Structure 1
């Protein structure tokens, strides 16, 4: 386990929730976010909930709230920086591939990109910033942020809760696999919704 994970295991419940919220919120900061082990923390928090040290529902609510707040922060930061988002000291250190993936999501999905990118490390940090930099109104991404936050937090924390006895194994394999599965399901659901909407409009006409 890393330092943060070991720390929340030693803290009182209130301190553990605070560390979890701070870590998830920090992930929204460009560059720094790539180094915050939110996946491991959520899995560890779920495992601690299984042991009775934390409450699983509070873990999910805490992480979800931090996600939504972080997306707001990222959007406002991107709006403030505009074109300097990529060329600034931090932006230049973000891998080109990550920027490219975020660009592709934004171009194809707009506000929906915030939902889909929530399940992709690093890209989930960039997407709200890009939305702000391109002047996409926050109201266009807010519903997707509100939907993705509990799905992501719930999936990871529940994985840790369910497999607490083999926690180290879950950290290595289970979390990323579960996140990928949730992302695929989310993409299929959004695609189905997008296809259904024009059909409904034609029916009304």
Structure 2
């Protein structure tokens, strides 16, 4: 048995290929992670986008843990549906938690798992984009964890929240899982390139692609604040 290392916890391939007593449990782990990342505020560190993309690549193996389906398309479609449902449940739980906890999270001290700044960043993001934030947040790490909680805290209309929740969950799941699966099929059939041999590069690319825009935006926002503060100082002088 391969020795476990804590770094594997941020490697989506580790969860997909996880086994217990010789039995594959990857599909159950994937669904739980999707639920946890969107429903439990401690789940923001879990792999999200890269996990779904890789799930598309491994869709056949994952679905064989539940059903034996000959149709390639049905395998991917069913996997996407299950993931979307897990996302809907996760967001719903996050909304419920936010509605019940109220402002409690704002008073929690920072620790290894929880950082209050994530909550403030998500609140600003949510206030700026309104209901669409639920859709946008699905594709942004960290923010997607706190967006439903913020929606619950500010008492967003439940029907409106669920509308965006369902749309965003299916959009997120289908786009990434179908992209991963059919990109793998196309590259393998056309060029003999197996994406399973380049998992590390794929994960790195997806992490950069999803987090870099957020980092750039935060840096720009900080620069604008500093410029505004400097202007205020100059005016006083």
If the TM-score is normalised by the length of the shorter chain, which range does it land in?
0.7 to 0.9
Query: What is aligned with 2:33?
Result: 23
Runs (4+) off by over 4 Å = 10-14, 89-92, 178-181
Using a 3 Å threshold, how does the CA distance of structure 1 residues 90 and 46 change in structure 2: closer, same or farther? farther
Aligned: 1:94 with 2:115: yes
Alpha-carbon separation, structure 1, partners of 2:210 and 2:174: 11
Max radius of gyration: which structure?
A: 2
Equivalent positions of 1:156-171 (< 5 A) are 156-164=176-184, 165-167=194-196, 168=199, 169-171=201-203
Alpha-carbon separation, structure 2, partners of 1:114 and 1:136: 11
C-alpha RMSD over aligned residues: 3.0
Listed as ranges, the gaps of 5+ residues in structure 2 are 1-6, 64-74, 185-193, 214-237
Instruction: Indicate if the aligned counterparts of 2:109 and 2:116 stay in contact, CA closer than 8 A.
Output: no
1:173 corresponds to which of 201, 205, 212: 205
Query: What is aligned with 1:149?
Result: 169
Query: What is aligned with 2:134?
Result: 114
Query: What is aligned with 1:42?
Result: 52
Listed as ranges, the gaps of 5+ residues in structure 1 are 182-205
SS at match of 1:148: helix
TM-score normalised by the chain length of structure 2? 0.64
Aligned: 1:62 with 2:72: no
1:80 corresponds to which of 89, 100, 114: 100
Query: What is aligned with 1:5?
Result: 13
Alpha-carbon separation, structure 2, partners of 1:84 and 1:19: 29
- Range moving further from structure 2, 17-26 or 108-117: 108-117
TM-score normalised by the chain length of structure 1? 0.73
How many aligned residue pairs are there?
178
Query: What is aligned with 2:188?
Result: none
- CA offsets per residue over residues 163-198 of structure 1, 9 Å max, x none? 4422413222157648999xxxxxxxxxxxxxxxxx
SS at match of 2:58: helix
